[in-house]
Amino acid sequence: MIVDALDDEGALDRLADDWRALHDAAPAATPFQSWEWARAWWSHRRRGRLVVLCARAGDGTLVGLLPLVIAPYGPTRRLTFLGAPEADYQDLLALPAHADAVRDAFAGWLAGAARAWDVIDLPDVREDSALATLAPPSPGLAARRFVHRVCPYLPLDGDWRLAAGKQLRDRIGRKRRKLGRDFAVDFDVVAGDELPHALDDLFWLHDRRWRRRGLRGAFSRPSVRRFHRELAARFDARGWLRLHRLRVDGKTRAAFYCFADGARVYYYLSGFDLDFGRYSPGAVLMARAVEDAQSAGARVFDLLRGDENYKREWGARERRTVRIVVTKRRSLRSLLAASAIAVERAAAVAGSRLRNRLWGHRRAGARDA
């Protein structure tokens, strides 16, 4: 197996066709490993220097990819995923029959390039991924694996309403009926020419909710909004975008930003009108999005990372991701970077507890991150 590292500006565009073909052939791949995600992210959220590891078989066929960036991390250099932290699942992209060999080949390359980095930080890797058992083949390097995030999901192979529980079902039913009595209500899924305006509504609703709590929303930075505008257009062209809206008397009161890829739908972010809180627009639209996903043949509605209390109200099951940190055993800079990552991890745990303490179970159906 041959490993190449591409680091020039044209690398992503040259790889587009092979990357798409590999993504389509890898059953465990998510939209976060797609070329479309990487291209949009690099255009608007780039940090550091691009390093795309490519594994090819003897006949030149691309069998594995690992898109990375080397970026400043305080006074140190961190090698991490391209697309972080916006991507909820991170992973190498490989054909199933080659996944372990690709992982080991990439581990060898990373060990050989140790002078270029002080720490390797690979968050949001699924526990069952081949990458989760990365082990650099060098006694001078140490790899540690930490439980990173909880990623709840709703199985759709049965009646999801039973898992959600009677109290939540009854509340959503009451709110739907009340909305229908008081207003002209319309549910739709946005595509094409309507997309720019619908994204404006999503950004405004999401960020307004956070600003009311004195915090910044996920779309507060212009570069993040530009990234999602390009990403949504690219995903729409691939048939992966599911941007749900709840419109009341012609005005958007809730929006759910989801991605659909095969048998799985990923709920990424949302926004809803706090002034309409008595109608629970977030919960009502989430129920509609789950129903639409099941009707379209999806088997999983993935709520992605975060252990917010409202996800438990829906009867979500949980899977975990891990964070892999590789350090150099005799490097002060590597020790410094690893210590900073440990502080990050502790802060993330504290932040999760604080969110659930602030919001508790008072709202269902809107993602808080």
pLDDT digits (tens, 9 = 90+) for 225-259: 999 999 999 999 999 999 999 999 999 999 999 99
Q: Residue 362 has what pLDDT?
A: 39
For 281-339, what is each residue's pLDDT tens digit?
A: 999 999 999 999 999 999 999 999 988 888 988 999 999 999 999 999 999 999 999 99
Which CATH class name applies to 2-147+332-357? Answer: alpha beta
Q: Residue 26 has what pLDDT?
A: 95
C-alpha span between 61 and 166 (Å, rounded):
52
Q: Residue 251 has what pLDDT?
A: 97
Q: Residue 355 has what pLDDT?
A: 59
Residue 309 and residue 126 in contact, taking contact as beta carbons nearer than 8 Å: no
Q: At what angle do helices 281-295 and 166-182 cross, to 10 degrees?
A: 110
Q: Residue 255 has what pLDDT?
A: 98
Look at the block and give the residue holding tokens 């791949």.
29
C-alpha span between 326 and 27 (Å, rounded):
27
Q: Which long-range contacts (CB under 8 A, 24 or more apart) does 189-197 make?
A: 189/242, 189/243, 189/244, 189/245, 189/292, 190/243, 190/244, 190/245, 191/236, 191/241, 191/243, 192/236, 195/232, 195/233, 195/236, 195/241, 195/243, 196/229
| Residue ranges of the chain whose pLDDT lies below 70 | 349, 351-369
Radius of gyration of the chain (CA): 21
For 317-348, letters b (16+ CB in 10 Å) and e give eeeebbbbbbbbeebebbbbbbebbeeebeee
Output helix, strand, coil percentages for the chain, rounded to the nearest 5. 45, 30, 25
C-alpha span between 89 and 323 (Å, rounded):
11
| Same fold: 2-147+332-357 with 158-298 | yes
C-alpha span between 227 and 66 (Å, rounded):
21
Which amino acid is located at 351 in the chain? G
Give the fold, CATH level 3, of 158-298: Aminopeptidase (3.40.630)
Q: Residue 345 has what pLDDT?
A: 84
Number of alpha helices (DSSP H) and beta strands (DSSP E) in the chain: 11, 13
Residues 6+ apart with CB under 8 A from 169: 161
Residue 113 and residue 318 in contact, taking contact as beta carbons nearer than 8 Å: no
Nearest one of 339, 348, 292 to 76, comparing CA atoms? 339
Q: Is 42 strand, coil or helix?
A: helix
Domain ranges of the chain: 2-147+332-357, 158-298
